[in-house]
Structure 1
């Protein structure tokens, strides 16, 4: 794959870019520590009623995580330009799943493209102080010490087969790691693409090698091509809830769940899709994908979800109609969900996408949330923070 071909294959994933340059942001001044061990998360909010978040403020760029002049020397592992960086925590490690990345890029190049193209990469950290950025401890590497493509993409010409395999989320069940990915077939206009399918892969050796699961998959036309996860306890059982969207950045959000076990995750016969509420406002679950109901009818993009123990609410980050990065507050996993609270606009930060959070990187008092954010120019991943405006505080 030469540089020109790689650039053509990837460039259509660009976020909507308004204007030129990047918004300046002050460095974070408040030190925060990682959250302690997570408590079981209830499916039903114990504090029903009104929304508690009035918006966000003090959005700050803290550090550049990848690429030239980043706080991590990613060039030594052949990661000069790349995106995404969705996170999941397993034990003492937090893993970062990156998307299409390149080891050889022209100076000043904008967007995805370059030589030595990998569809994905995996790094990890044990850093528990997010206030000054995240120091990556290691990567899954190949025999040459370069960041490995953990799920090799076929890199076929656009709209002929599989262009790339992009990880959309990961999680752990005990010592077993899972990565969800989408197989992209065709890049369309900005923020639009077609997928062949979405599928799960498994690792039992801390991410060094991966096995693509034969049965754990969704059609490329389904509402579960891109996922966000959270561990939930409902009626005494542990579940892995998954919020899903179609391919692209303009789809509504649906909800499903898997039993919190390796067998439950890997066998679709155990999966359940949110199919609406009964007369007593209790959730109804169905084994049929076709029964999956929309829980948030907004034009959504790459997403992540976490539970706020302080607010007793769900917090979902994504984009709205391929433009601003936004946060929604949910009273239950299926809603109701608030109107979007703007985190950053495209005018403030041209080319932004992929605001990903993880429960480990929330301040002890629950008011400050840290997140990764991809920026199309310079096509790398940055570390940000934002403060929640709590309606209960004057």
Structure 2
């Protein structure tokens, strides 16, 4: 049995023996609930000198849900598509105590500077070909501290492609007010451990990882919470033995893909309605935002199911879920989704369909 930190008896995940069948049959009733960021959103983020920003992965700490945003711009010319503008910050951090996902997501505020602007947490050189920006890919907590996993981007390339110097962590011990880049652990910019999604299970933290860009597959690594800052303590999934038990190695070069696809920004959660792990990600092959299921963190993972198509929402990316933002026992999931035009983050919902039981009418 695997117990997800913070779960109740009714929702704690199980890792069954054998090879249990997949149960996710599809998604229905997918729709936009509201807008999270931007001057015209209910949150009026222009109050924090934010006209446009993207990403918005979520983690919990100190009684709040923290939303981790990427490149943020205070002012943008009318009609501008994609990232750009003035008052550029490479990353910002919002927070909420809103527990009801059904009517949108209300932000309580941001970590701000002395004039009230959402402030940059992890600095960058902002020099193309050296270090263009520092993009946080996920947040988590360990040993009472807050951490942001981030990538140092050297150069933005063609759509879905970019070059990175390295991936590492920044740490805060004052509830997100200040952050320090850590010297370790770090992973090379050409490795498969650049963008991550994290979940804590007992005293271990699991990281599902992909390379820079949106054209690589997913690897899996883990570390004990107490050793999160020790590079040599990380273990990398290498496959399963004859009994289906996971095998781990200290050498990252031995890591084996758990999902072989064109994977961009990703998030992984445990879903109590399915009693399965869910993985959402940007599909680099043009299929939009997709969803997969698995009985275990290492798979086998089911086929990709379209969550939101690129035809329905052109320019979508970064479909981020959070385990506590579900309703109807996990049957309805909620997620953040970035849209390139107007370069802001929106709130979506979807109903999961089980293939192994009759579906009740949605309330």
**Distance in 2 between the 1:39 and 1:272 partners?**
28
**Distance in 2 between the 1:145 and 1:227 partners?**
30
Q: 2:300 aligns with which of 329, 333, 336?
A: 336
Match runs of 1:316-327 below 5 Å = 316-323=279-286, 324-327=288-291
1:82 and 2:53 equivalent? yes
Partner of 1:295: 258
Partner of 1:226: 195
**Distance in 2 between the 1:121 and 1:59 partners?**
28
Q: Secondary structure at the match of 1:266?
A: coil
**Distance in 2 between the 1:106 and 1:230 partners?**
39
Match runs of 1:202-281 below 5 Å = 202-233=171-202, 238-261=203-226, 264-281=227-244
Partner of 1:139: 110
**Distance in 2 between the 1:91 and 1:359 partners?**
16
Q: 2:73 aligns with which of 97, 102, 108?
A: 102
**Distance in 1 between the 2:284 and 2:145 partners?**
35
Would you identify which runs of 4 or more consecutive aligned residues in structure 1 move more than 6 Å?
none
Contact 1:191 1:322 in 2 (8 A): no
1:170 and 2:136 equivalent? no
TM-score for the superposition, normalised by structure 1 = 0.86
Report how far residue 346 of structure 1 moved. 1.0
Partner of 2:324: 360
Contact 1:102 1:116 in 2 (8 A): yes
Partner of 2:165: 196
Partner of 1:15: none
Show structure 2 runs of 5+ residues with no match. Answer: 359-363
**Distance in 1 between the 2:6 and 2:236 partners?**
28
Match runs of 1:51-62 below 5 Å = 51-62=22-33
**Distance in 2 between the 1:93 and 1:268 partners?**
29
**Distance in 2 between the 1:380 and 1:138 partners?**
16
Q: Secondary structure at the match of 1:230?
A: strand
Report how far residue 37 of structure 1 moved. 4.2
1:348/1:47 CA distance change after superposition, 3 Å: farther
1:364/1:205 CA distance change after superposition, 3 Å: farther
Report how far residue 393 of structure 1 moved. 2.4
**Distance in 1 between the 2:285 and 2:111 partners?**
31
Q: 1:284 aligns with which of 247, 260, 263?
A: 247
TM-score for the superposition, normalised by structure 2 = 0.94
Show structure 1 runs of 5+ residues with no match. Answer: 1-35
Contact 1:228 1:305 in 2 (8 A): yes
**Distance in 1 between the 2:243 and 2:225 partners?**
26
**Distance in 2 between the 1:256 and 1:43 partners?**
19
Contact 1:302 1:355 in 2 (8 A): yes
1:242/1:43 CA distance change after superposition, 3 Å: farther
Report how far residue 277 of structure 1 moved. 1.5
Contact 1:368 1:387 in 2 (8 A): yes
Report how far residue 91 of structure 1 moved. 4.0
Partner of 1:126: 97
Q: Secondary structure at the match of 2:232?
A: helix
Q: How many residues align?
A: 352
CA deviation string 1:100-142 (max 9, x = no partner): 0100100121100001110000010000001011111121111
**Distance in 2 between the 1:46 and 1:373 partners?**
35
Match runs of 1:2-41 below 5 Å = 37-39=6-8
Q: Secondary structure at the match of 2:46?
A: helix
**Distance in 1 between the 2:80 and 2:16 partners?**
47
Contact 2:13 2:270 in 1 (8 A): no
Contact 1:374 1:381 in 2 (8 A): yes
Report how far residue 320 of structure 1 moved. 2.0
